[in-house]
Homo-oligomer: A and B are copies of this chain.
Amino acid sequence: MTTLKDLSRHLGLSVTQVSRALNDHADVSEKTKVRVRDAAKSLNYEANVLARRLVTGRSGIVGLVYPTMPDPSDSWYFMQFVAGLSKEFSRLGRQFMLHMPDDAGDHLDVYDRLVRSRSIDGFIIMTPMVADPRVNFLRSRSVPFVLHGQTMDEPDYPFFDIDNMAVGYDLTAYLADRGHREIAIINGNPGASFVERRFDGYRQALRERGLPNRAQFEAAGMMTADLGLLETVRMFQSDGPKPTGIIASNLRIAKGIISALNAMGLRVPQDVSVVAHDDKLPDVSAESLGSGLTTTEAPLGDSWEPLARFLNATLDGAPLSEVQEVGPHSLVERGSVAVR
């Protein structure tokens, strides 16, 4: 394999100058640069990344620690995410590495080891918690990272997110403004930041309109059709008021809600209205649920490009203002809501 030394010998230049020429530094004459580049090409020279990494102290690799083995139904999303990040980073000249620890937990030890052995330059963090230990840990070690989402405090780190509070608010307001007074929400795992933000939006919309905020109308859990089904049945079988409108935090939950309503002989939207947030994953579509589901939508698939870009820019020293973004979402009416 050709090294810089070979090249320098061959050209009658110092190793220093050859290195600087190839890296396009200012104090190399244009003529020499051309000469060096030609020689590099003809000698089939490719820089040894291992040596470069040692001296720069950077591995050139960014990582994602995937917390759990995803549910089979999440696998398409997972794959899209991994593939998207992988490609995006390779386009940006970095490598992306996935780490899947065996056991559950926040895996701070995994981060610690990766950081200490200097094998990872920066991290992508998915679905952050309200107070996320990973964020605190990486911040304390001043290791670069980018969040898919935000924690609850003012973000002093790079992130890409959608306005989940607005999502919760918009869906609630949509139902309320059409006369619904008893509105339930079936949300994701408690503690996850996006879940709490959607709850916040939901509560704020209720509060502003003087509508009741009932504890038994707030459900949370792993976002599956089963959750939607079970929680809907629970709400309709317990004593007290029944919801006339239900908000689902994703389409799988919505699917479960609709199954439950059908099973109980309730029609959508005549008896109960249903709205949901749609991540635009290919496993379920809002059109195909019932006779079309009214949703807020924001494609999850649009997130990896900014995430990769932001982490990359951060590693290149970009200021915080350039690596924070709240992406758009929109409301699409499809007729799963009746006016009361």
* Docked CA distance A304–B46 (Å): 32
A79-B90 contact in complex given A46-B116, A50-B53, A50-B54, C-beta closer than 8 Å: no
Contact assessment for A117 and B48 in the assembled complex, using a CB-CB cutoff below 8 Å: yes
* Docked CA distance A96–B98 (Å): 8
| CB contact list, A82-102 vs B, under 8 A | 82-83, 86-87, 90, 95-102
A118-B49 contact in complex given A83-B100, A86-B99, C-beta closer than 8 Å: yes
| CB contact list, A48-73 vs B, under 8 A | 48-51, 53-54, 57, 59, 61, 66, 69-70, 72
Chain B hits for A72, CB < 8 A: 76, 282-283
- Does A44 make an interface contact (CB < 8 A)? yes
Contact of A79 among B57, B70, B96 (CB under 8 A): B70
- Does A5 make an interface contact (CB < 8 A)? no
What is the chain B residue whose CB lies nearest that of A98? B86
- Give the number of residues in A that approach B within 8 Å (Cβ atoms): 41
- Does A1 make an interface contact (CB < 8 A)? yes
Chain B hits for A102, CB < 8 A: 87
Which A residues lie at the B interface, using CB under 8 A?
Answer: 1, 44, 46-51, 53-54, 57, 59, 61, 66, 69-70, 72, 75-76, 78-79, 82-83, 86-87, 90, 95-102, 113, 116-119, 282-283
Q: What are 30 contact pairs spanning A and B, CB under 8 A?
A: A1-B116, A44-B116, A46-B113, A46-B116, A46-B117, A47-B117, A48-B54, A48-B117, A49-B119, A50-B50, A50-B53, A50-B59, A50-B118, A51-B54, A66-B83, A72-B76, A72-B282, A75-B75, A75-B79, A78-B79, A79-B79, A82-B98, A83-B100, A87-B100, A87-B101, A90-B101, A95-B97, A95-B119, A96-B98, A97-B97
